[in-house]
Amino acid sequence: MSVTRDMTDSYRAPGRAFARQLREGVSEARVLSYLMISCFIIFVSQLPRLAREAHLDPSIPLDARAGAAILGWLFFVPLVAYGLSFLLVLVQKVLRMQAHAFTTRMALFWALLVTTPLWILQGLVAGLIGVGPALTAVNVILLAVYLIVLFACLRAAGTYLKESQS
């Protein structure tokens, strides 16, 4: 199945869509591409917000804001994401859950890729409406969807690991 179809299926049944991704045999290169594509889409989605901020405060031009954002999203966030996946594996082991570094990384990065349409919405709301209840609502929805997809993927990864060991 295509990645975009799996992404849309993840909004209905995230565990099943993620299990399908695992059964297709995923490599580290594919997982890294999920992370980098997600970060690039999120960077692009933040451009309306950056343009609004540059218009309201011209002391920092848009190109400087965009340069800082691309540095953050394409260089620093991937490093933080790998560190977060390591911490998530440790938490899973402490809680005596089925954990494997690769499937945990994939779950974390897949959940980020699945939520990229919501990141685009968040960037548009931040750019067109600005700070307010609408942006807060979109941020809450984005976080909730990310966590739901992440935990469903982690559960599916645990089931996948149990099945592959037996």
Classified as helix, coil or strand, 60 is coil
- Compute the average pLDDT of residues 109-124: 95
Domain boundaries, the chain: 3-165
- Cα Dmax for the chain: 62
- Contact between 119 and 135 under an 8 Å Cβ cutoff? The reply is no
Q: What is the pLDDT of residues 48-82, one digit of tens each?
A: 999 999 999 999 999 999 999 999 999 999 999 99
Helical spans, DSSP H, in the chain? 3-12, 14-23, 28-45, 47-56, 62-71, 77-94, 101-114, 116-128, 133-165
CA distance 10 to 104: 16
pLDDT bracket for residue 165 (50, 70, 90): low
- Compute the average pLDDT of residues 89-116: 88
> In one letter, which amino acid is 20?
R
pLDDT at position 9 over 90 = no
SS (H, E, C) 86-130: HHHHHHHHHCCCCCCHHHHHHHHHHHHHHCHHHHHHHHHHHHHCC
Q: How many residues does the chain have?
A: 166
Q: What is the pLDDT of residues 130-156, one digit of tens each?
A: 899 999 999 999 999 999 999 999 888
pLDDT bracket for residue 35 (50, 70, 90): very high
